[in-house]
Structure 1
Amino acid sequence: MTDPAIDYRAVYNRLPAGIALLDPELRYIDANETYLHLADCSLADLLGVYIFDAFPDSPERAQTANGPTSLGASLLHVLATGERDSLALQRYDVERRDRPGTYEERYWSTINTPILDSAGEVVLIAHRVEEVTAFMQTKDGSGDDSKLQAELYMRARELQEINEQMRAAHAREREVALTLQAALLPAPRPVGHRAAVRYQPAISALNVCGDWYDLVDLPGDRIAVAVGDVVGHGLAAACVMGQLRSALSAASRTTAGPAEALNVLGLYARSVEGAESSTVVNAFIDWPSRTLTYSNAGHPPAALLRPDGTVEFLDQATDPPLGARPQHQPGPQATVGFTVGSTLVLYTDGLIERRHEDIDVGLARLAATLHRYPLYDPEALADLLLSELSPPTGATDDTALVVLRL
């Protein structure tokens, strides 16, 4: 059985809102039947005509009318930015076809949407209008009900416009924050041993850019690896993240172990606005001695996957998040041995945590997934973890991930 063909022209003509297509010179290219009914004209009357020549506002309101001014600004904004624009409730008087020179008071809800070509240029504007004049008319001489309806409608339209502006602002902040974070996080370069790094942003613009990772080559065939999470989100979190990552990277190069490096970072975090209560796990790997020394400041525990598929969570040296104590105290560290072919996995909470779910459930899910793939290459394992553990509806928090073959 084949799907029935859709007559898009018929759908376009039967839409309840009036829609006209304008070219970049704001001339009419097409209009659906609803639009023509609202305008009380035929398509032949509009084709090729400049929109404000087709519908000039009344001469009496030419100096004060907000309709043409606002509509014109909206259309020009769409052409300049390629962004959809919604107008608050507008008064735009329309000349009667049967009585030239006589204008009727009309009120409109308007949305202008760009149609882009393959190069991203605006080639058409879908000009959607819905007449709401009836809301402004009086009822039984009193007008109380209709005025209240009109007021409620205007407030709803204003709120809709504010929400759209906020969504656009959040989208711009998300783009800037992700760009900044990409510049601050180290490139996935070789560090002497096989490692894979990943950063997966959240689907929400409000929940990105607090997570980070770092890998540092140390003398004597050693490496320091860290993953952290800033409490906030957005551009501010990206800035704090960059400061913490750089500070820990420097501390790891000049200290004897991960706990001492986190001590330095904890003191530094107290002087950085927005850095306190951030979490981080830091590990020093020594290949000649086959030991892994780690320290954890309030972060989900790293996972050590052995070649036989057993998983050990490194949770024996855990301290509160950075700056959480009233007075700074040195943190603990622990050391564990590893066999060749083991894999170390460090991650942020976006990989395991779910709303209304205990963290132990997420840790068990991670352990079960790792147990099935003990010998996977780090690159393949990193992709698999993100694929299998991310929520099917999309991640609600960003995720940083490091997979290192020992």
Structure 2
Amino acid sequence: MVALLTPDLVFVDANDEYLGSSGRSREQLVGRYLFDVFPDRPDDPASDGARNLGASLRRVVETRERDAMALQRYDVESPERPGVWHERYWSPVNVPLLGEDGSVILLVHRVEDVTELIRARGRRTDVERAGVLEADLFTRARELQEINERLRKAHARERSVALALQDALLPAAQYTGPHRAAVRYRPATGALNVCGDWYDLVDLADGRMAIAVGDVVGHGLSAACVMGQLRSALSAACRASRGPARALEVLGLYARSVPGAESTTAVAVAVDWRTRTVTYSSAGHLPPLLLRGDGRVEFLDRATDPPLGARPEHVARPEAGTGFRVGDTLVLYTDGLVERRREDIDVGIGRLAAAVSAHRGDDPEALADALLTELLPPGGATDDTALVILRL
């Protein structure tokens, strides 16, 4: 019998054995507080199963360590006959599942129903009973170890496939055009945290260049698949559209037919070398950064609209532009570079601006390496990072 609980002791799911032994359906469990479903027996003052289990689960959340409980009497009310209670004996083991930051994100509540064993105890000697219980505990420990190993291998396989897909769909890491550029992609640390960040650089027929970055909501293989579809669609739209705003409008219409594309953010920029202007439009994405030759930093934030799929009806997206001088530097990035848990996003954006200004003499490749080194956490980020740097 296995159930998954949140740290607040709310059911997330349970396997068939748990449902069958507890006499509850999945609908009667999922989303409900554990002790609302299984309270202590009210007509028995000595009933303490819920109190003991609650103490164990809270201890696991606080210590982040596995807890094998002593044998518990925990009577269960009949779902068909309210007020009728069945005497039950349980042997529970509670195990934490940790997130990337070390906090408990789920609790594995594994239970062995030993009611029949207890009822038959009079037919066994103390030595026999001790041997049975010892063997049972050993078996449960070995099964938990095997489950953890299978989960680890499954997560590792998913991460490997997602990374291979992203690597195949993203353009080459070296741009070979006449202007110096650097691109970087850094996956999140952790097996399940591969995400859907992308970048693109497109030579346009009239001598302009289009640059884009985007971020699909979600993690894992499905996010990487959505990323590939949206990146290809935006790349085509940039080649066929009159400007970044129109390209994002086309992408937004296409995203409505792609499951999982809702709330994707993206920013598209067109660089015109003849007029020395940068034109841009953003669908809920963090603003590109323009580093001036004198070290001043300008954020391109005057044409920001909601993410893809945020509006029920099609609305034209805004577009803005600014001039540049030879030697200025354009930086596009995703939130993995600047966003940190329990920190305002403006702090991370300010940190980026300071780092870019401090390295304004570096070429794009050196600047890209410096930004990743200085801004990403030493142990790796919990979100993907895409970065494009173009010397204008």
**What is the deviation of 1:162?**
1.2
Which of the numbers 157, 168, 172 marks the counterpart of 1:183?
A: 168
**What is the deviation of 1:147?**
4.2
CA contact (8 A) 2:195 2:383 kept: no
Is 1:347 aligned to 2:330, yes or no? Answer: no
Is 1:154 aligned to 2:139, yes or no? Answer: yes
Q: 1:299-338 residue pairs with structure 2 within 5 A?
A: 299-338=285-324
Q: 1:5-16 residue pairs with structure 2 within 5 A?
A: none
Report the Cα distance in structure 2 between the residues aligned to 1:289 and 1:404, rounded to whole angstroms. 17
* Deviation digits for residues 108-148 of structure 1 (CA, Å, limit 9, x no counterpart): xxxxxxxxxxxxxxxxxxxxxxxxxxxxxx99627556644
Is 1:296 aligned to 2:279, yes or no? Answer: no
* Unaligned ranges ≥5, structure 1: 1-137
What's the counterpart of residue 83 of structure 2? none
Report the Cα distance in structure 1 between the residues aligned to 2:302 and 2:232, rounded to whole angstroms. 26
* Deviation digits for residues 266-285 of structure 1 (CA, Å, limit 9, x no counterpart): 01001001111111111001
- Letter in structure 1 aligned against 2:325: T
Say what the alpha-carbon RMSD is for the aligned residues.
1.8
What's the counterpart of residue 382 of structure 1? 368
* Unaligned ranges ≥5, structure 2: 1-120
- Larger Rg belongs to: 1
What's the counterpart of residue 403 of structure 1? 389
Give the SS at the match of 1:336: strand
Report the Cα distance in structure 1 between the residues aligned to 2:227 and 2:388, rounded to whole angstroms. 16
Which of the numbers 218, 243, 263 marks the counterpart of 2:249?
A: 263
Report the Cα distance in structure 2 between the residues aligned to 1:154 and 1:397, rounded to whole angstroms. 38
Give the SS at the match of 1:227: strand
- Letter in structure 1 aligned against 2:208: R
Give the SS at the match of 1:288: coil
**What percent identity do the matched residue pairs reach?**
69
What's the counterpart of residue 208 of structure 1? 194
**What is the deviation of 1:173?**
1.4
CA contact (8 A) 1:178 1:209 kept: no
Q: TM-score, normalised by structure 1?
A: 0.64
**What is the deviation of 1:218?**
1.0
What's the counterpart of residue 227 of structure 1? 213
What's the counterpart of residue 173 of structure 1? 158
Give the SS at the match of 1:353: coil
What's the counterpart of residue 228 of structure 2? 242
* Deviation digits for residues 165-198 of structure 1 (CA, Å, limit 9, x no counterpart): 1111111111111111111111123133111011
- Letter in structure 1 aligned against 2:226: V
CA contact (8 A) 1:341 1:375 kept: no
Count how many residue pairs are aligned between Structure 1 and Structure 2: 269
